[in-house]
Structure 1
Amino acid sequence: MGKKRKHQNHFVDSANAKKKTRPNPGPAPGGGPSRAKGKGAGAADGAKKKEQKQYHQNQQPVIPFKPEDAILLIGEGDLSFAASLAAHHGCRNLTATVLEKNEKELLEKYPHASENIAKITGAAVPSKPTKPAKDDEEDDGDASEPEEDEEPTPAPADGDDEDEEEKYKPTLPNNNKILYNIDARTMKPFTKRTTTHNHHGNSTTTKHGVFKRIIFNFPHVGGKSTDRNRQVRYNQELLVAFFNSALPSLAPGGTVIVTLFEGDPYTLWNVKDLGRHAGFQALESFRFHSKAYPGYRHARTLGVVRDKRSGEASGAAWKGEERPARTYLFMRKGEAPEPLSVQKKKKRRGGEESSSDEEEEEEEEEEEEEEEEEEEEEEEEEEESEVELYDDWR
């Protein structure tokens, strides 16, 4: 087993790939030379995309939370992401929410979720059912022995796994919990009251949110409509309602984290604009690396795919966690740091009032270049991602 890569725990935009040069072969007389040149351009473009994909895969994952943070997870599906945070990232202050009314309904939709529940709550992982003893056989007490004792798990190939587990070994009491029947659009605020006293003996009570991070991975309403525009609008309505309901539950200085697949139709949702209209400011975005969350599996909105004849879970599961995705960070307006371009303007106007017209023109040119670079990066991201219709997997 190879050595594990350390994860970054600070917020860094990892979308700074090299700029893509688009070959322009131009017209050529006759069919042969132009066609040959076109093939060469296509091969070069394909190699460039492959190189960029490898570049993003080699980047260190950005982990947008700390183990001690109070984290609210919305729409957790089969709870595999929450289980990974608890088991591999040492998170002990998780509140994972699901839309299903109770545990029974959740397990009917995602039968394997029982193991994830055990990891989150710290309970023993349920073992596989053993064959019942026959009536004429006596119980010698061996049936109560856990299955792991009979076939011990082999040790890791090297010490990396042990070091990783030791690193995230829980030192705090487990306060993780699972809440059922929580709708992202209408959830009640999670708040607490704080009373402060001044030197005059007067007290002031304020109410604020309790969660440092509120995470909603891959929000989707499901296949409500076959009409593309309506489906986009339904998902936009879901996100707007989520932003509005999450705002009062967010602690001062906290962040809301939304992860979406890259490419069409998700880029049409305009998640940054939706957050801004709800009172948030987009801070940054970066690639979502599913491998940074061992055990995480992307769960379909409609549950496990089952065979039409037998009704059993299909073994040919679609691995959505392997599809390119992007994470967006939001903070309340007024709490978010000012963009670098705004800081430069204030510095020029406040500290150096005698700046020349040439300096102001240089600033404007720098801002225009930054905007052009951002637009080019977004175009590259759209070209890199595979365009898949959501109806194929929802």
Structure 2
Amino acid sequence: MSKSLKQITPVVNVDTRISVMAKSKKRKFTNHSTNNKPPAKQQLAKAAKPGPSPKAKPTIPFHSEDRILLIGEGDFSFAKSLVDHHACYQVVATCYDSQEALYEKYEPQAEQHTKYLEESGQTVLYGINATALDRTKKLVNLGPQWDVIIFNFPHVGGKSKDVNRQVRSNQELLVSFFKAAIPLLADNGTIVVTLFEGEPYDLWNIRDLARHSALEVQRSFKFAADVYPGYSHARTLGNIDGGGGWKGENRDARSFVFQQQGASGEKQPEWKRGSKASKKRKREGEKDTSDDDD
């Protein structure tokens, strides 16, 4: 009896049993992976998730073909960048210092920059007082109609350590500059002034100063120093001994674009031409008095 049972009972090879178990595990792994796929709605939502918004283009308040007058240049690195990198070709760059004093304060870059400008066919003028532009024969004979007049980081220098006196002195500088610059503007020409943000510069109340000078703010925007390759902020007192030190171009700054009150319109930067906002303002007959960048 036991013999017959031995004959009937099948003998399963050990290797065969291991192979069957392996196939079973493989099927289970495959099915488990398939069942864990996210639902179709989740896949669509993931695909539709918006990416990072594109970085806004910086505002450049002039066109390459504009007649540009630069006031109070330091080492003339800003003027050089306009010509070298922005293809401006009608630039008159001025500074308050004499040529000798300028070269001494900003050695050696000032001489290099001014020579580059002159060799490029631009005009460099020394000893130009920002508060007497309309009475300066050198400028009147060259113009007097400029599309853009730019005064970056105006400052009277360290005349006093008293904050209130410094504020008043710089306010007087700006008011006198505005009044002297207006007669030199072309129709719909603009005046651009750039200041550091925060105190004491906010105390100058530049918007009010311009309003009392028959100007109005068309817009303001963050000044982006990296838009002007080669530019570096020059201190009123000159280079820092040994190099290095404080870098003004790394500080937050804001540019204000002014136009005479009642002017017929504003010349838009090239990258804003044809924009929906610009067309809307044109249809509604409004001027853009808002800030471009926060």
TM-score (norm 2): 0.69
- State the Cα distance separating 1:276 from its structure 2 match: 1.2
Conserved? CA contact 2:175–2:209, under 8 Å: yes
Deviations 1:127-161 (A, max 9, x none): xxxxxxxxxxxxxxxxxxxxxxxxxxxxxxxxxxx
Counterpart-to-counterpart distance in 2, 1:299 and 1:94 = 19
Aligned to 1:257: 192
SS at match of 1:69: coil
Counterpart-to-counterpart distance in 2, 1:114 and 1:318 = 22
Counterpart-to-counterpart distance in 1, 2:157 and 2:100 = 21
Larger helix proportion of the pair: 2
One-letter identity of the residue aligned with 1:276: R
Counterpart-to-counterpart distance in 2, 1:121 and 1:175 = 5
Aligned to 2:21: none
How many positions carry a matched residue from both structures?
Answer: 226
Aligned to 1:277: 212
Does residue 185 (structure 1) correspond to residue 131 (structure 2)? The answer is yes
Aligned to 1:326: 254
Deviations 1:201-243 (A, max 9, x none): xxxxxxx831100000000111111111111111100000100
One-letter identity of the residue aligned with 1:319: K
One-letter identity of the residue aligned with 1:224: K
SS at match of 1:294: coil
Conserved? CA contact 1:87–1:119, under 8 Å: no
One-letter identity of the residue aligned with 2:225: S
One-letter identity of the residue aligned with 1:100: D
Counterpart-to-counterpart distance in 2, 1:264 and 1:99 = 25
Unaligned runs of 5+ in 1: 1-54, 123-173, 194-207, 307-313, 348-370, 382-394
Conserved? CA contact 1:191–1:248, under 8 Å: no
Q: How does 1:356-375 map to 2 (within 5 A)?
A: none
Conserved? CA contact 1:74–1:98, under 8 Å: yes
Conserved? CA contact 2:188–2:259, under 8 Å: yes
SS at match of 2:116: helix
Q: 1:77 aligns with which of 74, 77, 85?
A: 74
One-letter identity of the residue aligned with 2:106: Y
- State the Cα distance separating 1:121 from its structure 2 match: 1.6
**RMSD value over aligned CA atoms?**
3.2
One-letter identity of the residue aligned with 1:182: I
Unaligned runs of 5+ in 2: 1-52, 267-279
Aligned to 1:67: 64
The 4+ residue runs of structure 1 with deviation greater than 3 A are: 189-193
Alpha-carbon distance change, 256 to 336 in structure 1, aligned in 2, over 3 angstroms: farther
Aligned to 1:106: 102
Q: How does 1:187-202 map to 2 (within 5 A)?
A: 187=133, 188=135, 190-191=139-140
Deviations 1:172-214 (A, max 9, x none): xx54110010010122264479xxxxxxxxxxxxxx8311000
Counterpart-to-counterpart distance in 1, 2:72 and 2:160 = 20
Q: How does 1:94-243 map to 2 (within 5 A)?
A: 94-101=91-98, 103-111=99-107, 112-122=109-119, 174-187=120-133, 188=135, 190-191=139-140, 209-243=144-178
SS at match of 1:209: coil
Counterpart-to-counterpart distance in 2, 1:216 and 1:330 = 12
Aligned to 2:4: none
Aligned to 1:90: 87
Alpha-carbon distance change, 279 to 175 in structure 1, aligned in 2, over 3 angstroms: farther
Larger deviation, residues 180-189 vs 283-292: 180-189
Conserved? CA contact 2:188–2:265, under 8 Å: no
Does residue 335 (structure 1) correspond to residue 263 (structure 2)? The answer is yes
Aligned to 1:46: none
Counterpart-to-counterpart distance in 2, 1:118 and 1:293 = 19
Conserved? CA contact 1:85–1:293, under 8 Å: yes
Conserved? CA contact 2:75–2:234, under 8 Å: yes
Counterpart-to-counterpart distance in 2, 1:250 and 1:84 = 23
